[in-house]
Amino acid sequence: MSTTPDFKFFKLSNIAEYVVHVEINRADRLNTFTRAMWLELEAVYQRLSYDPDVRVVVMSGMGDRGFSAGLDVHEATTTGILREDAGLDPGRKANRIRRDVDELQRCVGAIERCEKPVICVLHGLSIGFALDIATSCDVRICTSDVTLAVKEVDIGLAADIGVLNRLPKIIGSSTWIKDICYSARNFGADEALREGLISLVAADKPAALELAFCMAKLWAAKSPVAVQGTKELLNHSRENSVTNSLRYTKVWNAAYVQSQDVGTAVMSSLRREKPVFSKL
Residues 195-214 that bind its own copies (CB under 8 A): 195-199
In angstroms, the CA 174 to CA 66 distance is 27
* Complex with its own copies: residue 5 or 196, whichever CB lies closer: 196
Is 217 a binder of its own copies (CB under 8 A)?
Answer: no
Is position 260 an interface residue for its own copies (rule: CB under 8 A)? yes
Work out which of 2, 243, 274, 276 binds its own copies, going by CB under 8 A: 243
Of the pair 36, 101, the CB lying nearest its own copies is at: 101
- Show contacts with its own copies in window 97-156 (CB under 8 A): 97-99, 101-102, 105, 109, 112, 117, 138-140, 152-156
By CB under 8 A, is residue 250 in contact with its own copies? yes
Judged by beta carbon, residue 36 or residue 255, the one nearer its own copies is 255
The only residue of 90, 271, 272, 276 in contact with its own copies, by rule CB under 8 A? 90
Smallest distance from the beta carbon of 36 to its own copies, in angstroms?
19
Stretch 162-191 residues interacting with its own copies (CB under 8 A): 162, 164-179, 181-185
Nearer to its own copies, 13 or 253 (CB): 253
- With binding defined as CB under 8 A, does residue 254 bind its own copies? yes
Interatomic CA distance for residues 64 and 167, integer angstroms = 27
Work out whether 62 is an interface residue with its own copies (CB under 8 A).
no
